[in-house]
Amino acid sequence: MINKNKKIAVGMSGGVDSTMAAFLLKQKGCDVVGLTMQIWGGKPSGGVKKSGCYGPGEAEDIAAATEACKRIGIPHHIIDLKKEYQENVISYFRDEYKKGKTPNPCVVCNSKIKFNLLLEKAFKSGIDFDYFATGHYARVSFDKTSGTYLLKRGLDRNKDQSYFLYKLKQSQLEKIIFPLGGMKKVDVKDLARKNGFADYAEKEESQNFVECDDYFSLLPQGKPGQIVDYKGNVLGEHDGIERYTVGQRRNLKVGGLKEPYYVLKIDSRRNTIIIGPKEFAYSDKAEIKDINWIIHPEKNKIKVKVRYGASLAACSFSATRAKQVLLKFDKPQFAITPGQSAVFYDGEVVLGGGIIA
């Protein structure tokens, strides 16, 4: 896919992965330019506790991206997307939690911001490029038989990020390059150390959404309500449904139980948290909405991840309406969580995915 006569923009975060993606493309003789999103609109703060995508530490990340581009020898542009990020990611995040659901902001950021509005705004500002590359651990290939671009899992299974990219369209995949998709993280760090980027190899990874211990600072004050067991008995009081997710065991603030209880359901209409024993948190069915098929499966047996850290689970599916399917799992799955993404796989290939309804 890499044509040296084409110009490639690389999404630069200031971390080792995006830095090495740009470095590799430059080493291959490509015409490379760096793009960095500016999404934090708040004030500087000294209370940063974790490395994350959204927070006051963004200024430091932008400086690291600028320095990386300088060392590689490529131009660097900062694209202001603060307004767009608030409208598309933060608003969605807040609205979903109000409904008692558990959203995945990274999926929305990738589909609406990073692989969409970032590129649109870069073009409008006069930055010209033919392809867009990132440091994601995923792969893209072209299937000549079907004439379709395929999204595939990254070679490094411990770092595979294909789960977060299932909403990408054919028009996007056609112009995307993932230079690290066929590499392992340990080799990427070794590459950085050997080529003058040891400081980037040792940086803390940005694996969190926000730069703090929790996300509550982004949410309005919750309304207190009841915590009940699966039989309807009142066991305690919560301080806002936004602070709970299906499958949660800790911080339920309910004592005197003979065994650990888990969140089974969040009823936003009644402002109630329903809890019960772990066996009640398993289900063999899930309704999935807002389906995006990258490539439609030829049969109704697929494998699915119901959350990023979950193992692939075998299931069958049947369409219930437009862009909506019902999954039936071969084995019951723990804590299938409304608002999270279910991503479908056939071996290495990402078939598509949707939102757990």
Residue 45: the pLDDT is 46
16-20, 176-180, 200-204: range with lowest mean pLDDT: 200-204
Signed CA dihedral, 140, 163, 357, 117: sign only: negative
Q: Is 109 among the residues known to form the active site?
A: yes
Q: What is the pTM of this model?
A: 0.92
Chain mean pLDDT for the chain? 93
115-129, 209-223, 272-286: range with lowest mean pLDDT: 209-223
Number of helices (H) and strands (E) in the chain: give both, helices first: 9, 19
Q: Where are the beta strands (DSSP E) in the chain?
A: 7-11, 31-38, 52-54, 76-80, 131-133, 138-143, 148-153, 176-177, 208-210, 225-229, 234-238, 261-267, 272-277, 282-293, 301-305, 313-321, 324-334, 341-346, 349-356
Residue 357 DSSP class = -
Show the tokens assigned to 67: 């320095």
Name the pLDDT band for 46 (thresholds 50, 70, 90): very low
Q: Is 53 among the residues known to form the active site?
A: no
Residue 2: the pLDDT is 65
Q: What domains appear along the chain, each with residue ranges and CATH number?
A: 7-210 (3.40.50.620), 221-280 (2.30.30.280), 282-356 (2.40.30.10)
Name the pLDDT band for 6 (thresholds 50, 70, 90): confident
Per DSSP, the residues of 228-271 read EETTS-EEEEES-GGG--TT--TT------SS-EEEEEEETTTT
Among 30, 69, 212, 315, the active-site one is: 212
- How many Cβ atoms sit within 10 Å of the Cβ of residue 6? 14
Residue 193: the pLDDT is 98
Phi/psi for 83 (5° steps) reads: -65, -45
